[in-house]
Amino acid sequence: AQTVTQSQPEMSVQEAETVTLSCTYDTSENNYYLFWYKQPPSRQMILVIRQEAYKQQNATENRFSVNFQKAAKSFSLKISDSQLGDTAMYFCAFMKPLYNNNDMRFGAGTRLTVKP
């Protein structure tokens, strides 16, 4: 079974600064995907970024980038130029693709507060 660990229950950052959220996972699978989802107070789950395990290049989406270390099973999220709207719960997720569907599991989450 796959496990996802987020060791930082809460973090805060000043507006416009950079913050890094940590995530480690444990799996024996070779083919998998990793995600960061954001859940603001509205509780809508919003995809932030996705990484395919077979790709060495780290994924980036505007101000969001990841540091994917496959051998270390580490998948951290860096948020640059933090904005007040980035305040949310962030979940790291491991996805094992199955035939025509998938099995996605989440870490415990990191609550991020961006301070003005």
Partner 1 sequence: DTEVTQTPKHLVMGMTNKKSLKCEQHMGHRAMYWYKQKAKKPPELMFVYSYEKLSINESVPSRFSPECPNSSLLNLHLHALQPEDSALYLCASSQGGDEKLFFGSGTQLSVL
Q: Residues in the site for partner 1, rule: CB under 8 A?
A: 33, 35, 42-47, 50, 91, 97-109
Least CB distance to partner 1 at residue 17 (A): 25
Least CB distance to partner 1 at residue 105 (A): 7
End-to-end CA separation in angstroms for the chain: 41
- The nearer residue to partner 1, 10 or 15, going by C-beta atoms, is 10
Least CB distance to partner 1 at residue 97 (A): 4
Strands (E), the chain: 3-5, 10-14, 19-21, 24-26, 33-39, 46-52, 60-61, 64-69, 74-79, 88-97, 102-106, 110-115
- The nearer residue to partner 1, 9 or 85, going by C-beta atoms, is 9
- The nearer residue to partner 1, 92 or 114, going by C-beta atoms, is 92
